[in-house]
Amino acid sequence: MIKTGSLANYTNSIFDMTISADSPHSGFEVSLMETGAFYSPNLITFSGREGYLFDKDGNFFGGYESGVPFNIQVHYDYDNSTFSYYHQDNLVANGLSITGVDSQGATDGAVNFVKFTKHANSNMTVSATGIVQDSLAKHGTSQVDSRITSTMDVATNGSMLTSFTDPNGTLEGGGFNASRSTDFWAKDIDFTSVSVWNNRGYDTPADFRKRGATAITKRHIIMAKHFKLSASDVVYFVDPDGTWVSRTVSAIADHGSADITVGVLNADLPDNISFAKVLPSNVNDFLKMNSVGAIDQYYRPIVVGFDFEKKLTLMVLTYMLSSSNNSTYIATPASIPDPYDNLGEALIAGDSGNPVFIIIGGEAVLITSYKTTTNGPSYAGYISAINTLIGSADSSAGVSTGFTLTEFDLGSFDFQVF
């Protein structure tokens, strides 16, 4: 028989377990785990067989008798992914590595579940003390988990808009004025900041869904410099009710080296079109990094990004803010863990400039826009520069909006700091 119990997200903590085995011969197993919608790894495991006790590496460390309670205490050093354990108040082992963390999603190693495999009248109690904190990586992934199922796929559930087809060179043809899709997996999240159409387009015949842009204030959009819109171009957004809203680009300003262009619009966007907040410059403090500065393999969040057809696909974030101020991501489905790969899609020419977000508290927070199929400039590293570009675009247009980027307040979520 298996008995389970939920815990909070325990990081640096102590787990005090008292176990009574009904029959030494039948044995038992107890595991401290991290569970999510699509993963459930054992982090720390102890077992008993024929009166002998074993740790997660199979090392013998003591014995037990039928019906006689004994104690195992685990001290979990979450920051270093190690633990020590005591048997009957005696230290047995120190600095052991946790096990079971795998690539099935963003598993950050916080203990939130206990499983006891028992026989007959065996029983156990567990008390936990220590720090309870969510991580940014796990939170972002759980925001996706709560909205998808293992049977969803890109073709059925990826599109934000319905009948959003290739216009085949006709400016107001094809998918123009397409309505919102009720099958869209993220339909409860506000993505009105994402542009869906423009009158410049790309290719021959022109596809006016191409050349992505995202509103970053009520008057400004951000784009990939190598695939930008220009002054006098018209850009379109879709309000929550499915009504399309257009604005004209009055002027643009290019970053000197990064793939960033900011455009100022001829008028403020209406109140029902939101602008995207960006992550703060200290965002890496909330991510567990490895020795080369990448997000540790088992702490990588699932993030989301639009293609030019306005399909919202899933990706694995590998750098949030690299030493070169880039964000990098894995978009190829074959390299994305199941079941997130069902909503993954390889990026192609024409997707450039479309945004990548992490979902925090139900809000889409802007990370970058596609420069290549694997990276884009991390806006958290360019906050001051982007604000300067906003001012430059305003000056070229002969306006003074006074707008600047809005940074998302990560501190309000009490995320784990690494």
Q: What is the mean pLDDT of residues 277-290?
A: 96
Q: How far is CA 140 from the centre of its chain?
A: 4
Q: What is the mean pLDDT of residues 267-274?
A: 98
* Domain presence at residue 22: yes
46 and 99 in a single domain? The answer is yes
* Domain presence at residue 258: yes
206 and 290 in a single domain? The answer is yes
Number of structural domains (the chain) is 2
DSSP SS3 for 390: helix
* Domain presence at residue 48: yes
Please tell me what DSSP assigns to residue 291. T
What pLDDT, on a 0 to 100 scale, did the predictor assign at position 385? 98
What pLDDT, on a 0 to 100 scale, did the predictor assign at position 103? 57
List the structure tokens of 8.
């909070």
311 and 295 in a single domain? The answer is yes
CATH code of residue 189: 2.40.10.120
pLDDT classification of 102: cutoffs 50, 70, 90: low
Radius of gyration, alpha carbons of the chain = 26
Q: What is the mean pLDDT of residues 408-415?
A: 95
Instruction: Identify the domain boundary among 111, 133, 155.
Output: 133
**What DSSP string describes 119-178?**
-TT-EEEEEEEEEE---HHHHHHHHHHTT--TT--HHHH-BSEES----TT-TTSTTTTP
Instruction: Identify the domain boundary among 133, 158, 186.
Output: 133
* Domain presence at residue 418: no
Q: Let me know: does 407 contact 282? Beta carbons within 8 Å.
A: no
41 and 159 in a single domain? The answer is no
281 and 402 in a single domain? The answer is yes
116 and 145 in a single domain? The answer is no
What pLDDT, on a 0 to 100 scale, did the predictor assign at position 99? 83
pLDDT classification of 24: cutoffs 50, 70, 90: confident
Mind listing the pLDDT tens digit for each residue in 149-206? 999 999 999 999 999 999 999 999 999 999 999 999 999 999 999 999 999 999 999 9
Question: What residues make up the domain containing 229?
Answer: 140-413
What pLDDT, on a 0 to 100 scale, did the predictor assign at position 298? 84
Instruction: Identify the domain boundary among 97, 114, 133.
Output: 133
Q: Which residue has the tokens 């354990």?
A: 85
Which segment of 199-203, 219-223, 240-244, 291-295 scores lowest on mean pLDDT? 291-295
Q: Let me know: does 144 contact 304? Beta carbons within 8 Å.
A: yes
What pLDDT, on a 0 to 100 scale, did the predictor assign at position 77? 96
162 and 283 in a single domain? The answer is yes
165 and 233 in a single domain? The answer is yes
CATH code of residue 111: 2.60.120.200
Rounded distance between C-alpha atoms, residue 223 and residue 226, angstroms: 9
What pLDDT, on a 0 to 100 scale, did the predictor assign at position 120? 85
Rounded distance between C-alpha atoms, residue 108 and residue 418, angstroms: 12
60 and 177 in a single domain? The answer is no
* Domain presence at residue 357: yes
79 and 200 in a single domain? The answer is no
197 and 268 in a single domain? The answer is yes
List the structure tokens of 362.
């139900």
What pLDDT, on a 0 to 100 scale, did the predictor assign at position 9? 94
186 and 68 in a single domain? The answer is no
